[in-house]
Amino acid sequence: AALPLKDPELLKQAMLIGGQWVGADDGRTIDVRNPATGALLARVPRGGAAETGRAIEAAEKAMRGWRGALARERSAVLRRLYELMLEHADDLALLITSEQGKPLAEGRGEVLYAASFIEWFAEEAKRAYGDIIPQNMHGRRILVQKAPVGVFAAITPWNFPAAMITRKAGPGWAVGCAGVIKPASQTPLTALALGVLAERAGLPAGVCNVVTGSAGEIGGALTASPVVRKLSFTGSTEIGALLLEQCAPTIKRTSMELGGNAPFIVFDDADLETAVAAAMVAKYRNSGQSCVGANRFLVQAGIYDRFAARLAGESARLRVGDGTEADVAVGPLIDDKAVRKVEEHIADAVAKGACVAAGGARHERGGLFFQPTVLTGVPRDAAIFSEETFGPVAPLFRFDTEEEAIALANDTPFGLAAYLCARDAGRIFRVTEALEFGMIGVNEGLISTEVAPFGGVKASGLGREGSRYGIEEYLETKYVALGGI
């Protein structure tokens, strides 16, 4: 069944390499399915090392001209891309919902969020300032220039099919780099549609290449290439570590946005309404499949029962279904493996003494749908405390003191996002300073924005995306000692 796109040209079943839409050399394809229905949406090429090699060559060639353009000219092209994304927001949202499953309203939200990075970096393109440093001897001047890092590779996950691409490619294109994008095999259609819009916006052929197919082969070719100077990856810590190893021989710059295990701490002095509202969005956005999603709810004894009751009540009221249906708040999970992991985490917690306060099982619709679930009295040795569930399950742990909350929150190798709800200003400062996380939401459950630095510490990664920090990841610092003048 064809997707009802307003602009059917946005549905591409070919890779974009050097301005050409091409299939795999051997003609092989990958099926793209709708996780809500199982329906076949499209077949995209199963590219490998050879196709990736050609994309790298195309990027290298295209970059020569692109880096030489005025910042203002690159900025104007990105601005057009931003406008095209907004113009086609409905189609892009439908592509996202169809291949990824999130509710259409969230798909639309993601399109706006994704476009915001293009807008932001279109503006930042003009501000990649260097420096003039007071000279250390007479007859010399000291200049610091900023140069584009070179050809970049962007390997992106399925949970945010549009935003993870623009957050990486946006700053790269802005400063004059060309790149090769490898989207997740579950969600290539959004990436290919962005390729169509990039072309229409006027990005020269070869500046935006999109290669679909075998992750191992494409990732291997991208990391082995000495031409690729920068890898930006969002995905699991396990694959991130593997890619870092593969990048070592060619000493690439890397940005790594890896797994999280976000604590959501509710203190006794929190405003209950605010805490529950923040918890709902931090937990159930994208069916819990977000790397900054709340994974462990740490709730102080004095507010525990009230918070648990409210969260369970609101969770049970969420409408589960196909993201294209009206008022759906929670879509399907991405695949059966994801559903099984959620089941295992619940079974393990219950076996160790937790109680199910809401949900707890697959949804009656079957397929990949799961009930929004709240678990209370979860013991700290439950697997869900130490592993990212990536599903619609809120496990509630109990604590007594602030010190205990901080120790529990930091008791993980991960350090991406953390949340806390409290009103006491002293406590807010003490706790945010003690939390070993790259991003902290205080009385806020949704913290991602293009204007702020996104990224983690510890096993959650390296580097920052978005904001003025994000552009630095694509710039080299070049020092020139200018003498003889």
- Of 153, 193, 157, the C-alpha closest to 42 is 193
Whether the CB-CB separation of 215 and 90 falls below 8 Å is answered with no
81 binds ligand ADP (CB under 6 A): no
Burial status of residue 350 (CB atoms within 10 A of its CB: 0-12, 13-18, 19 or more) = middle
Binding mask 315-354 for ligand ADP (x = CB under 6 A): ----------------------------------------
Binding ligand ADP by CB under 6 A: which of 45, 109, 157, 188? 157
H or E stretch including 231?
strand 228-234
156 binds ligand ADP (CB under 6 A): yes
Cβ within 8 Å of residue 48, ≥6 positions away: 24, 25, 213, 214, 217, 218, 221
> How near is the Cβ of 259 to ligand ADP at its closest, in Å?
8
Give the integer Cα–Cα distance in Å for 341 and 345: 6
Residues 93-122 that bind ligand ADP (CB under 6 A): none
In a 3-state reduction of DSSP, which class is residue 23? coil
257 has catalytic annotation: yes
Q: Name the minimum Å distance from CB 191 to ligand ADP.
A: 10
C-beta separation of 10 from 92 below 8 A: yes
Q: Which is nearer to ligand ADP, 244 or 318 (CB)?
A: 244
Stretch near ligand ADP under the rule CB under 6 A, chosen from 35-43, 71-79, 142-150, 154-162:
154-162
Q: Does 235 bind ligand ADP (CB under 6 A)?
A: yes
Residue 184, interface with ligand ADP (CB under 6 A)? yes
Per the document, the length of the chain is: 485
| DSSP string of 101-163, one letter each residue | ---HHHHHHHHHHHHHHHHHHHHHGGG---EEE--SSTT-EEEEEEEE--EEEEE--SSSTTH
Distance CA 355, CA 119 (A): 46
Among 257, 388, 402, 450, the active-site one is 257
185 binds ligand ADP (CB under 6 A): yes
Number of residues interacting with ligand ADP: please give it, by CB under 6 A.
Answer: 15
Candidate residues 239, 328, 342, 357; the one interacting with ligand ADP per rule CB under 6 A: 239
Q: Which of 91, 95, 90, 87 is nearest to 44 (CA)?
A: 95
CA distance 79 to 291: 28
Nearest to 310 by CA among 333, 280, 334, 337: 280
Name residue 373's amino acid: T
Does position 216 interact with ligand ADP (CB under 6 A)? The reply is: yes
Residue 201 beta carbon to ligand ADP: minimum distance, rounded to whole angstroms: 24
- Span from 20-28, 55-63, 212-220, 393-401 in contact with ligand ADP (CB under 6 A): 212-220
As a whole number of angstroms, the longest Cα–Cα distance in the chain is: 79
Distance (Å, rounded) from C-alpha 104 to C-alpha 171?
27
Find the shortest distance in angstroms from Cβ 156 to ligand ADP: 6
Q: Which stretch binds ligand ADP (CB under 6 A): 122-130, 236-244, 302-310, 321-329?
A: 236-244
**Helices of type H across 379-438:** 383-386, 402-410, 425-434
Question: Looking at 180-188, 199-207, 368-376, 471-479, which segment touches ligand ADP (CB under 6 A)?
Answer: 180-188
Given the DSSP bridges, would you call strands 262-266 and 294-300 parallel, antiparallel or unpaired?
Answer: parallel
Distances (CA, A) of 303 to 119, 278, 396, 398, 443: 42, 15, 12, 10, 15
Q: Does 313 bind ligand ADP (CB under 6 A)?
A: no
For residue 229, the minimal CB distance to ligand ADP (Å) is 17
CB under 6 A: which stretch of 181-189, 268-276, 307-315, 319-327 binds ligand ADP?
181-189
Residue 134 tokens, joined: 């007071």
- Closest to ligand ADP by CB, 321 or 461: 461
- Contact between 236 and ligand ADP (CB under 6 A)? yes
DSSP class of residue 285 equals G
Tell me which of 5, 105, 147, 215 binds ligand ADP, using CB under 6 A: 215
CB of 258 to ligand ADP, least distance (A): 8
Which CB atom, from 65 or from 220, has the smaller least distance to ligand ADP?
220
- Which residue's CB comes closest to ligand ADP? 219
Nearer residue to ligand ADP within complex by CB, 91 or 257: 257
- Smallest distance, Å, CB 28 to ligand ADP? 16
- Residue in 343, 63, 336 with CA at minimum distance from that of residue 186: 336
Q: Are 297 and 279 in contact (CB under 8 A)?
A: yes
Least CB distance to ligand ADP at residue 238 (A): 7
Residues in 240-269 that interact with ligand ADP by CB under 6 A: 242-243
239/320 with CB nearer ligand ADP: 239
- Residue with Cβ nearer ligand ADP (235 or 415): 235
Structure tokens at 393: 């399950």
Stretch that binds ligand ADP, among 34-42, 195-203, 235-243, 445-453 (CB under 6 A): 235-243
Decide whether 84 or 155 has the Cβ nearer to ligand ADP: 155
Residue numbers at the binding site for ligand ADP (CB under 6 A): 155-158, 182, 184-185, 215-216, 219, 235-236, 239, 242-243
Residues annotated catalytic, as ranges? 257
